[in-house]
Structure 1
Amino acid sequence: MTDNSNDTPREDEPETAQDAAAENEVEVVATSESEEAQVENFPDGEVAASPLEAAEQQIADLKDQLLRAMAETQNLRRRSTREKEDATKYSIANFARDMLNVGDNMRRAIDAAPEGSGEGDDAMASLVQGIEMTERELLATMHRHGIKAVEPMGEKFDHNLHQAMFEVPDAEHTPGTVVQVIQAGYVIGERLLRPAMVGVSKAGEVAPSEGDSEAGDQVNTSA
């Protein structure tokens, strides 16, 4: 009896060349579809960056962050230095402002002394001289600490440094010129410690002519 079992192909027999080619074609199609899917994930036809390009971009980002951090650190250092200098320079501002009143009283005492009051009176002369010396020493000490007097006489009025108390008709000076100083002003460093109290000139009054006087006597009754 003949055995026909060899006529039926076995499942574990090697696949034919045609089957292998079909499988390769399927793999190629799958790879192509995968690449197309990757391209579709990036709009406008952009393609995913290579690892080298990604690393270069990361380096550029880190370098930018480093430069920004260095700039911020430098600005912080400068600001800290400036604040420290300002704290040292202006820490005595309140004390200096109070001492200005002492200097003002000394100047008032000197101005109140009658002219020639020291002649024949050694005690009065010594007193006035002592007050003047104390005033000079006080001003010199304040100057060493950056406190300087504002000299506004004859200058254009500056609202940053001066405080106008009144206006004076004056035809000799340009309107807005300081023509009188009531109280001296002071600055400490670049800051105003006390404004100078001043009188400011305004346009002088012109005497009216006879024609202007007659015209001025007429009353407008058209209203």
Structure 2
Amino acid sequence: MADEQNQDIPLPDPVVGAETASGDELDARIQVLEEELALAQDKALRMAADLQNVRRRAEQDVEKAHKFALEKFANDLLPVIDSLERGLELSSPDDEAIKAVREGMELTLKLFSDTLKRHQLEAIDPHGAPFNAEHHQAMAMQESTNVEPNSVLKVFQKGYMLNGRLLRPAMVVVSKAPVQAPPSIDEQA
């Protein structure tokens, strides 16, 4: 019985079957084959498009990896530049005892800033500019009649962008309109 199951079953010869099939059956068979061919072509086009999308996404991922590879390293360097800037702010340019040290700090800060710019790391120093929530972090609000409301009055800490992407927001004080005292009520009326 096992031999009977393993025997090859002869398939009909397509040419012989075509002679005996009617024209309607052939037309139906052609229609089915054309539909299968259209589905196979559509599937092949979709697979090619998917492959192209995967390739494009991979290229974009590699480009972003190259572009933002310095992000962590740059974040670690920002406190160093902040310290140099604070040191210059707190030291007096008129003090002869520290004049040489101050000049060295200025040169180091300039060299450091130029190096950051070469690597597309740009400082955000928005003093006097309108507040931008995408690039600034408001630390406080202060009444001011000298500038428009919602303008940056003071910068606590500069922000930085790496290749157009925000690395650190600028920490700022934002102006607001002075509070108007309510009109007094005339008690004699």
Task: Say yes or no: TM over 0.5.
Answer: yes
Q: Which residue of 2 aligns with 1:166?
A: 140
CA RMSD of the aligned region, Å?
A: 2.3
Shift of 1:106: 0.5
Q: Which residue of 2 aligns with 1:107?
A: 85
Q: Which residue of 2 aligns with 1:139?
A: 113
1:114-165 CA-partner distances (Å, limit 9, x unpaired): 13113xx5xx222111111111111111111121111322222222211101
Q: Which has the higher contact order (CA 8 A, sep 6+)?
A: 2
Runs of 4+, deviation exceeding 6 Å: none
Shift of 1:207: 6.1
Q: 1:27-106, aligned counterparts within 5 Å?
A: 50-106=28-84
Matching of residue 184 in structure 1 with residue 158 in structure 2: yes
- The answer on whether the counterparts of 2:93 and 2:102 sit within 8 Å (CA) in structure 1 is no
Q: Percent identity?
A: 34
Normalised TM-score (structure 2): 0.78
- What residue identity is the alignment partner of 1:67? L
Alpha-carbon distance between aligned partners in 2 of 1:59 and 1:181, rounded to the nearest angstrom: 67
Shift of 1:51: 2.0
1:154 to 107, 128, 153: 128
1:44-89 CA-partner distances (Å, limit 9, x unpaired): xxx9962222222122111111111111111111111111111122
Task: Tell me which structure has the larger Cα radius of gyration.
Answer: 1
Alpha-carbon distance between aligned partners in 2 of 1:175 and 1:148, rounded to the nearest angstrom: 26
Q: Which residue of 1 aligns with 2:173?
A: 199
How many residues align? The count is 164
Unaligned runs of 5+ in 1: 1-46, 219-223
Alpha-carbon distance between aligned partners in 2 of 1:156 and 1:61, rounded to the nearest angstrom: 58
